[in-house]
Amino acid sequence: MMTGSYPSEVVRVVCALLSPFILLFGIYVIAHGHYGPGGGFAGGVFVAVGVILPRLTLQEELAFKLVPTALGPVAAGVGLLLFLLIGTVPLLTGGAFLDYGAVEVAGVEPARMRYLGILVVEVAVGLAVSGAMLMLFDVLVARRTR
Partner 1 sequence: MIVPLDLVIFAVLIVTAILALQVRDLLTAVALLAGYSLFAALLFAGVLAVDVALVEAALGAGLTGVLFIAAILATTRRTDASKNRRRTVVAGVSVAAFVGLLLFASGGLPDRGDPQAPAQQGVSQTYLANSLADTQTPNVVTSLLADYRSQDTLGETMVIVTAALAATLILARREDEGDVAGEGDER
Q: Which residues bind partner 1 (CB under 8 A)?
A: 2, 29, 33-42, 45-46, 48-49, 52, 56, 73, 76-77, 79-80, 83-84, 87, 97-98, 100-101, 111-112, 114-115, 117-118, 121-122, 124-125, 128-129, 131-133, 135-144, 146
Judged by beta carbon, residue 66 or residue 84, the one nearer partner 1 is 84
Which CB atom, from 23 or from 133, has the smaller least distance to partner 1? 133
CB of 101 to partner 1, least distance (A): 7
SS3 per residue for the chain:
CCCCCCCCHHHHHHHHHHHHHHHHHHHHHHHCCCCCCCCHHHHHHHHHHHHHHHHHHCCHHHHHHHCCCCHHHHHHHHHHHHHHHHHHHHHHCCCCCCCHHHCCECCECHHHHHHHHHHHHHHHHHHHHHHHHHHHHHHHHHHHHC
Query: Minimum distance from CB of 125 to partner 1 (Å)?
Result: 5
C-alpha of 35 from chain center: 19
Minimum Å distance from CB 37 to partner 1?
A: 4
Least spacing, CB of residue 98 vs partner 1, in Å? 5
